[in-house]
Amino acid sequence: MSRVMLITGASRGIGAATARLAAQQGYALCLNYHQRADAANAVLEQVRGLGVTAIAVQADVADETQVLHMFEAIDRELGRLDVLVNNAGMLEQQMRLEQMDAARWGRVLGANVIGSFLCAREAIKRMSTRHGGQGGAIVNLSSVAARLGAPGEYIDYAAAKGAIDSMTLGLAKEVASEGIRVNAVRPGVIHTDIHAAGGEPDRVERVKASVPMGRGGQAEEIAEAILWLASEQASYTSGALLDVAGGR
Ligand code: NAP
């Protein structure tokens, strides 16, 4: 029986690259997306073309009811869960902290932090040996922003990723004896759509001068790290914060 992986935010960018690599490795997939059904369906076609079982499920990960419905769809249509990739994430327009309002902080912390907590909770209920599961792995998408702070851009986003680091460290210890490994990947600056949401589509070109390797990363290079952490090759790795950032 195929191992089953849920990838949140699988319609574009790092999540879509992770879906394609996971399909090549034979995972059955639940591809979550928020608004871009067209993009999600394109990824769904690609992974099904590789011969794996896959479903696409719309859900805002920040919405508890929608997350519960998504996990019910996994139970019903895929029958089990082995890996959660907490990839869905977003940022908003670049600005200084004193220009931000509380509504924005609610959205940024909701999608990046609450979303990851909700999905982790539902995954643990299904994977933990404490609840009759067979173990599994959780891979969280943090960011080097958690240690760099994103001054003048989005300190709220950086702080959200700092929370993901803390969650990774604590949860790894909490469920280690229940067959679940919990790790995070901290990408550097990667060529995806996310920078356009900050108002700077070409941000990678500006920032790459500060990357020791002198270039931005590709989504596929992050997917490789995610798939390794999800795999049995990483059987003794838990609580790791893995920087994939060109040395930055
Ligand atoms: P992206 O290209 O902007 O794609 C974001 C994905 O997340 C899309 O599939 C989007 O769905 C989904 N999404 C956003 N908000 C969601 C929500 N509330 N509920 C469900 N899905 C949601 O982003 P990316 O660059 O691939 O980033 C993926 C992860 O890596 C994020 O956690 C991000 O913070 C992290 N990261 C990225 C970089 C980078 O430089 N790109 C660096 C460090 C960390 P729709 O298509 O439906 O909108």
pLDDT in tens, the chain (248 residues): 899 999 999 999 999 999 999 999 999 999 999 999 999 999 999 999 999 999 999 999 999 999 999 999 999 999 999 999 999 999 999 999 999 999 999 999 999 999 999 999 999 999 999 999 999 999 999 999 999 999 999 999 999 999 999 999 999 999 999 999 999 999 999 999 999 999 999 999 999 999 999 999 999 999 999 999 999 999 999 999 999 999 99
What pLDDT score was predicted for residue 186? 98
Catalytic one among 27, 33, 157, 236? 157
Question: How far, rounded to the nearest angstrom, does the alpha carbon of residue 20 sit from its chain's CA centroid?
Answer: 14
Pick the closest to residue 35 from 201, 197, 161 (CA basis).
Answer: 197
Instruction: Report how far apart, in Å, the C-alpha atoms of 51 and of each of 23, 27, 45 are.
Output: 8, 10, 10
Instruction: Report the distance separating Cα 83 and Cα 52, nearest Å.
Output: 16
Any atom of ligand 1 within 6 Å of the Cβ of 217: no
Any atom of ligand 1 within 6 Å of the Cβ of 87: yes
All residues at 6 or more sequence positions from 87 whose CB lies less than 8 Å from its CB, including other chains: 7, 8, 9, 10, 14, 15, 18, 141, 226
Average pLDDT of every residue of the chain? 98
All residues at 6 or more sequence positions from 24 whose CB lies less than 8 Å from its CB, including other chains: 50
The pLDDT > 90 percentage for the chain reads: 100
**How many whole angstroms from 9 Cα to the centroid of ligand 1?**
6
CB 52 within 8 A of CB 4: no
Any atom of ligand 1 within 6 Å of the Cβ of 39: yes
- Backbone φ, ψ for residue 4 (5° rounding): -105, 130
pLDDT 10s digits, 17-44:
999 999 999 999 999 999 999 999 999 9
Residues belonging to the chain: 248
Q: Which of 7, 33, 243 to mutate to test the pocket of ligand 1 (most atoms within 8 A of CB)?
A: 33
Any atom of ligand 1 within 6 Å of the Cβ of 189: yes
Q: Is 27 a catalytic residue?
A: no
